[in-house]
Structure 1
């Protein structure tokens, strides 16, 4: 008998956790730091004050992103664990009812009742909790919450993103600072959106346009506030 060949396909769903955190962090790093720099520069602050503000924004933003992602994703993980514990108790309490429940899910997805019952029985014989976690609760390895991974990815990517407009701030003179920071930051956002869309398998033009639009809006609003504040002071 000829050996069955295993057909393998490369999917991108296993990247969702870290990709989301990394893109969010880098985008926030670029937008928030560039906006801070532009806003303070528009208020006619000194170059040293602008740099201090940018560095403080980088440090505070990275820590905030890490803490926020960790708490948020950990809450998701707690919910998943609570659901799994509840499902484990149900399996111990009434295995037959849980098998019928799983079979009903497969029937709703298009299997004939007899086949659905056989599939439910075999999957539960292999790993009952994993079968219910995946098909009843929607919890799988690819989508499961990973708090530490999300926190580290967010902090690191925020720092990298924030370092880009800061580097421009260091080398560009005050007279051209706003134009250079805004222009290069928009270019960074276009590149980020395109890379993220490509890694996720989406249209790069849509991804680039989405992050660039909101980044430009944030910088424009902050520049306006900075100019107003500078005029008042």
Structure 2
């Protein structure tokens, strides 16, 4: 019986480290996606609330939100592409220096060393997609609601629910206190929408 209980060999240490490393990489990508979606949510909702403060027509709010979605997604994609490409150049240069010091001639088919390097196109696409997903929440909430006050209420309610979800998910991925982190994200989103609405309303009332 004793031999049967010990018959299964322990998992190799390297395998456990690989699994932990893979989890860490997935966690970082998911966390970045959540932050990008939260950015799209708050910025687009704030833009729609600001325009809605002076223009009550549904068309004005939807167009403002759509413009914010496209502009924000493009900005996120370009910024991420440039940033990750710079990181890629640095890592490739470092690899070449290490190979030169070791007296190793880099071959064109050495894919194993480079498969773990950052991918600028993938990062840009993921960033733009995450932003767009968040921005779609206020856009969908405001669609087809002609009554102004109901439309604003629907946007605030939908954005609040999404902020809670993103805050909880971001806290869970970052292993942070869930309640505190979620409350921080929710209050921050409310403040962004309220400030944009109030300041735009003030400027609009002055006829500027």
The TM-score bracket by the shorter chain reads 0.7 to 0.9
Q: Partner residue of 1:40?
A: 51
What displacement does 1:44 show? 3.1
Question: Which structure 1 residue ranges, 5 or more long, are not aligned?
Answer: 94-129, 131-139
CA RMSD, aligned part only?
2.6
State which of 207, 213, 219 in structure 1 corresponds to 2:181: 207
| 1:158 is the counterpart of 2:113 | no
Contact 1:197 1:203 in 2 (8 A): yes
Q: Which has the higher contact order (CA 8 A, sep 6+)?
A: 1
Does the CA contact (< 8 Å) of 2:138 and 2:155 recur in 1?
A: yes
Q: Which aligned segments of 4 or more residues in structure 1 are displaced greater than 4 angstroms?
A: none
8 Å CA contact 1:42, 1:178 repeated in 2: no
**Alignment: residue pair count:** 187
Structure 2 residue runs of 5 or longer lacking an equivalent are 1-5, 105-112
Deviations 1:148-189 (A, max 9, x none): 222121111111111110111114321233333223212211
Shift of 1:206: 3.5
TM-score (normalizing by structure 2): 0.78
Does residue 149 (structure 1) correspond to residue 122 (structure 2)? The answer is yes
Q: Tell whether the 8 Å contact from 1:17 to 1:146 is kept in structure 2 after alignment.
A: no
Cα distance in 1 for partners of 2:139, 2:158 equals: 11
Cα distance in 1 between the residues matched to 2:125 and 2:170: 18
Alignment of 1:63-102 (within 5 A): 63-92=74-103
Rg larger for: 1
Aligned equivalents of 2:159 and 2:83: distance in 1?
A: 28
Q: Which of 162, 180, 183 pairs up with 2:154?
A: 180
Q: Distance between the aligned counterparts of 2:184 and 2:177, measured in 1?
A: 11
SS state at 1:5 partner = coil
TM-score, normalization by structure 1:
0.70
Candidates 8, 11, 14, aligned match of 1:6? 11
1:118-144 deviation per Cα after TM superposition (whole angstroms, max 9, x unaligned): xxxxxxxxxxxx7xxxxxxxxx94xx5
Q: Distance in 2 between matches of 1:208 and 1:200?
A: 12
- Which residue does 1:21 correspond to in 2? 32
